[in-house]
Amino acid sequence: LEIYRKTGVQTIPFFTTDPKVGFDNMIRQTGAATYGKTGLGFTDPSALREFYAIQLRLLDAGALIRPEVAFVTVTPEESEFAKGRSWVEFIWSNQYVSTQAAAKRPLKLALLPNIKNAKAKGTFLKPSMFFSIPASAENPEAAAKFLNYFLNDIAVNDMLMGERGVPIPDDVREHMATKVDAINKQIFDYISLASKNAGPIDPPDPAGSGEFLKMVRDVTQEILYKRISLDEGVSKIMTQGNRILK
């Protein structure tokens, strides 16, 4: 809101494609998780409610881009952020190159903010790729040696040039940060920052998560279009979430 008052530039609604990414970060900071073993992983809806309350406050102050504009699917070049009408965009770090190209102006990456009295880290590192060795593998030791080589060998990473994502091993990442271009260097630096401010990643999403995410997107629009009240929307997510994920 302060940025809007000083610049007149609005804010895009939080994570229009996948609102769960936004409130999940807040819920993780409370020490809970969005998903539990037999339903939602949290019972206190305060963080979820605040996620939407912030946006409604911005909307009422004229600082939030109108939902009828924000929720229209467009290319990166056609986005409100690329046009300079929003001062912030919510992306995964591997989307930074295309976001920077679309904006055609210098950008910076930043971590999501902390809530008051945070009990845990909301941020986590999500691999761009997962590797696994099946229990049925004939030569598991050889497979492990290959993955170790692929992930930790400097020469291999000199060939890959970050094509499969930012390397997680500190020595490899620090070495590769000296090799990539300036835009990718920002991503490498961001991942290094995030790794120092990240908690453990949650288990894989449970069955029903796809239906849950669709419901959340629908309810998010209902709340921001003011078709339902904030409390009605939060109650709907809690009730339907537990039903879907049960």
- pLDDT greater than 90 at residue 78: yes
Any domain includes 57:
yes
185 with 78, same domain: the answer is no
Asked if residue 24 and residue 70 are part of one domain, the reply reads: yes
Are 69 and 93 in a shared domain?
Answer: yes
With a cut of 90, say whether residue 127 has pLDDT above it. Answer: no
Percent of the chain with pLDDT over 90: 91
Residue 129 lies in a domain: no
Residue at 134 is within a domain: no
In a domain, 130, yes or no: no
Q: 35 has which bridge partners?
A: 40
Asked whether 236 and 219 are in contact (CB, 8 A), the reply is yes
Flag whether 131 is in a domain: no
Among 229, 202, 232, which residue's Cα sits nearest to residue 27?
A: 202
Mean pLDDT of the chain: 95
The closest alpha carbon to 84, from 106, 66, 67, belongs to 106
Number of domains in the chain: 2
Q: Which pLDDT tens digit goes with each residue over 33-54?
A: 999 999 999 999 999 999 999 9
Helix axes 182-195, 96-103, angle to 10 degrees: 130
- Mark whether 27 and 120 lie in a shared domain: yes
Q: What is the pLDDT of residues 166-221, one digit of tens each?
A: 888 889 999 999 999 999 999 999 999 999 999 999 999 999 999 999 999 999 99
% the chain with pLDDT above 70: 100
Q: Are residues 26 and 88 in the same domain?
A: yes
Are 77 and 102 contacting, i.e. CB atoms less than 8 angstroms apart?
yes
Helices (H), the chain: 2-7, 19-29, 46-60, 67-70, 96-103, 140-152, 154-160, 170-176, 182-195, 209-224, 230-245
Clarify whether residues 232 and 116 are in a common domain.
Answer: yes
- Residue 44 is part of which domain span? 2-124+201-245
